[in-house]
Amino acid sequence: MSDIRLTEASSHMRHGSNIGQPLTRRDGILKVTGQARYAADNHVPGMLHAVLAVSSVARGRVTFLDVEAAKRHPGVVDVMTPVHKPRLAEDPDAKTHPFMFRLELLQDDTVRYANQAIAVVIAETLESATEGAALLAPRYETQPARVGLDGDKSFAPPAVGVGNPAEVRHGDVNSALTDASMRIEATYETPAQYHNAMEPHAIVAAWDGDTLSIDTPSQGLAMAQARIAGLFGIPPSNIHIRSPFLGGGFGSKGLISGPQILGIMAARLVGKPVKLTLRREQMYGPVGHRAPTRQTLRVGMDGDGRLTAIDHHARTASSSFDDFFEPAADASHTLYASPAIATSHEVVRLDTGTPLFMRAPGEAPGSIALESAIDEAAWMCGMDPLAFRLKNYADVEPITGKPFSSKALRECYAQGAERFGWARRPLKPRQLRDEAGFLVGWGVGTATFPALMFAADARAVIRADGSGLVESGAHDMGQGAWTALAQIAADGLGLDLAQVEFRAGTSDLPDAGIAGGSAHTATAGMAIHNAGAAVTAKLADLAMSDERSPLFGAGNTGVIARDGRLYRRDDESWSEDYADILTRAGLAEIEARGKGGMDPAAQSIYAMHAHGAVFAEVKVDPDLGQVRVSRMVGAFAAGRIINPRLARSQLFGGMIWGISFALHEEAVMDPRSGRLLNANLAEYHVPVNADVPSLDVLTVEEHDPYVNALGIKGVGEIGVTGSAGAIANAVWHATGFRVRRFPIRIGDLVVPASD
């Protein structure tokens, strides 16, 4: 189902711009009525079920699998192992570009981490496959697992993130720290975290000769298509991927994962369609996670409370066999004015699955450390933490000296503080209590995230009846992309939204780029906008060159596309309907393509970021140390907002993720075995409704003519980056205890019963 049609809830827009309207989700009715079909909902004729058998040790090799016992089990069709599997055309460990990571595809008997696939059982039913996998009864030759940030020797990585320098220096940090009137040095730790989207990774794969049909969740259809094509030695055009709906992704579905490829291999092995769906506990390992960090910040200030130096060093972890290094220290590049800034990283290799992109990679763990350190610096200077941030406001990007393409952070501080009531905040901690006697604290955190764009394509069509069609292989993982992109499509065509058919979610449509980095609306949106502009320009050429048209000869002044008509720019009393132009030309439709992507020239001149300020109130039980977030206000400036309703939803989600980061979320590793102890949603804690307080979001008006023609920056991840720090700072203000290890635990807050 790649075509989502307009619902009644959003059909009220008939005139004016569709962009900027708070329309409800076009796919909302389908989702709440159960009509939205996710990957694992597909059940094709003749389909078999595949189940992973996974390693229970973190390091070693498999010495025995009872394959015969599994095969004898009723319903089991075959067992795929390192010695019995389809041949691949490409080494799964090969890396030919920065977005390619190594996959565990039963290459050999080596175990790299707990929960790694060691075999795949294929059966007539899910139950038979599950029981067959249990009968394999693997035995291992084990080695001691390397666990934790001190689990191995560290090294300086060649790069962090996607090609970012591992070490950056601006000015003489050591001299500036030596000369500073005041200094702080503090170390902050963040744990490993796992994406835990509602929808697990799943695939339904069917081969027809060398043609492959797939249902699977994907944040990057074209990249998945190319990776599969390389592994199986077939043209990308032979692969058709359907991914109309994703039940969350947060980065984990940006790249095709090992289990998804194993499902394709299983289908090729047995010559029948195969469905493979990960169980919840199997998602802790093979599909990425956020690496743990230990970050040390040294901050210097002069006697007036101005920053003189920021030194941000991050220690993080990657797997034993691949290279993804969390760029946590890079968070200090952009926010606060300082004449000397240094950031650096070191890495240890552990026996885990490879950490990968997870919502606000780098900025999320980096900002909670930076924002905590900035609060500590403000307290040492005897300043209100918001006043300290304003005193050290950066008018240009500190690390590069580039001007910002736009920056309305001052307005975010002002509007958020006013809404929150920040002016009533006492400077000292432990000064506020509520009517129940709970300690109350107020904290602030600055939010930032880069305004990114990737390459994308789109196709736009105007039909003979005056309606429009726009196609782009866009991805909607719950953020409302299909609605926002349809709004851009309608405006690009000069049509009402009800007159536009929008197709997305399959790999046979133009490549919409990857839905990641808070860049999807800008990326796919610009391709769609440009396709609409191109096709209306073609239509205008038809009319202006036709003597029978009222627009004939308007080429010097141009025309405007609006409400399904073309109007002379200099005299709008002269106009013509789209349908009339095409009918007279004898055309059933007219089409054009459009591309989207970052302007390298603008990128070389300007620093491009979204900004925000988050204010949090917490209440702490003075006897138990239990922390509850009671109130949050976020003010964000993220360029042009395509759909305020959807943007607010994304910002709410980011702020809730900040609550999770500060107070709940942590993957706990057994130091003896290297196995996760809480690989489930019962013990891996994330906020539930009772943990989410009153949330208030303000979107601050911001015009940015440089990021792209539509002025879009993106809102998906910025809400995380200020919120976690605001909560941590509020906990200090409530209790006087500065917690530097996250999530904050009751045991960290041994609060006396009386002051």
Q: Check 346, 371, 471, 717 and give the catalytic one.
A: 717
Amino acid letter, 244: P
Which letter does DSSP use for residue 41 in this model? G
SS3 state at 500: strand
Tokens of 94: 């090969």
The C-alpha atoms of residue 174 and residue 176 are separated, in whole angstroms, by: 5
- What is the SS3 assignment for 362-419? CHHHHHHHHHHHHHHHHHHCCCCHHHHHHHCECCECCCCCCEECCCCHHHHHHHHHHH
What DSSP state is assigned to residue 607? Answer: B
Of 641, 21, 19, whose CA–CA distance to 10 is shortest?
21
* Of 54, 107, 111, residue with least CA distance to 83: 107
Longest dimension (CA), the chain: 89
Concatenate the DSSP letters of all residues of 433-471 into one string: E-TT--EEEEEEEEEEEE-----EEEEEEEETTS-EEEE
Amino acid symbol at 286: P
- Contacts of residue 604, Cβ cutoff 8 Å, sequence gap at least 6: none
Give, in order, the Cα–Cα distances in Å from 571 to each of 493, 537, 540, 559, 565: 20, 18, 15, 9, 14
Distance from C-alpha of 128 to C-alpha of 122, rounded to nearest angstrom: 8
- Joined together, the tokens standing for residue 382 give 């005897």
Handedness of CA 395, 400, 401, 403 (dihedral sign): negative
Both tokens of 317, joined, read 């972890």
CA dist 471 and 592 (Å) reads 11
Q: Is the Cβ–Cβ distance between 240 and 224 less than 8 Å?
A: no
| Residue 369 backbone zone (phi > 0: left; psi -120 to 50: alpha; other: beta) | alpha
717 is catalytic: yes
Give the number of other Cβ atoms within 10 Å of residue 211's Cβ. Answer: 13
Give the count of beta carbons closer than 10 Å to the beta carbon of residue 704. Answer: 23
* CA–CA gap between residue 219 and residue 520 (Å, rounded): 10
Q: Which residue has 């089409």 as its token pair?
A: 591
Q: Say whether the peptide bond before residue 429 is cis (omega within 30 degrees of 0).
A: no
**Residue 137 falls in which region: left (phi positive, over 0), alpha (psi -120 to 50) or beta:** left
Given the DSSP bridges, would you call strands 110-111 and 3-4 parallel, antiparallel or unpaired? unpaired
What are the backbone dihedrals phi and psi of residue 722, each rounded to the nearest 5 degrees, phi first?
-95, -25
Question: Among all residues, which ones are annotated catalytic?
Answer: 717
